[in-house]
Amino acid sequence: MTRVVLDSSAILSVFLEELGREVVVSHLFEALTCSVNLTEVVTKMLDKGVALSDIDDTVSGLCGRIIDFDRDLAIQAGLLRAVTHHKGLSLGDRACLALAMREKLPVMTADRAWVDLDLPVEVVLIR
């Protein structure tokens, strides 16, 4: 099985039982996720009414290895602004892409805007 980087939209597809979640489930526990994307996932869980006391356990069931948003990823995500601005990518999107580029891994997302970005990373749409 190929290791991947998961965007928050991919993780949330499992949490919200959305179309495409089956693709993500097969990669969950070997995947990498940027800590910025974890923040997005936790925010959505709270919006959906998950109790504070259940967040950690719920996240543990949805995320493999969490990678800290370090200095190098921060710089790369900032630099990606210039080439992704026309698509309206968020900081979380760029953090995810920066991690995938650094690790030389495909990235899984539900965000179709990523497909035709001219970046050295394979984008795998989950739906």
CATH number for the domain including 76?
3.40.50.1010
Report how far residue 112's alpha carbon sits from residue 109's, in angstroms, rounded to the nearest whole number.
8
Residues in the chain: 127
- Which stretches of the chain drop beneath a pLDDT of 50? none
pLDDT on residue 63: 86
pLDDT on residue 33: 97
What residues make up the domain containing 24? Answer: 5-125
Q: What is the pLDDT of residues 91-101, one digit of tens each?
A: 999 999 999 99
pLDDT on residue 8: 97
Domains contained in the chain, number: 1
**Other beta carbons within 10 Å of 28:** 18
pLDDT on residue 82: 96
Rounded to two decimals, what is the model's pTM?
0.94
Beta bridge partners of 6: 108
Q: Is residue 50 a contact partner of residue 110, using CB atoms and an 8 Å limit? A: no
Would you give the distance in Å from CA 47 to the centre of its chain?
18
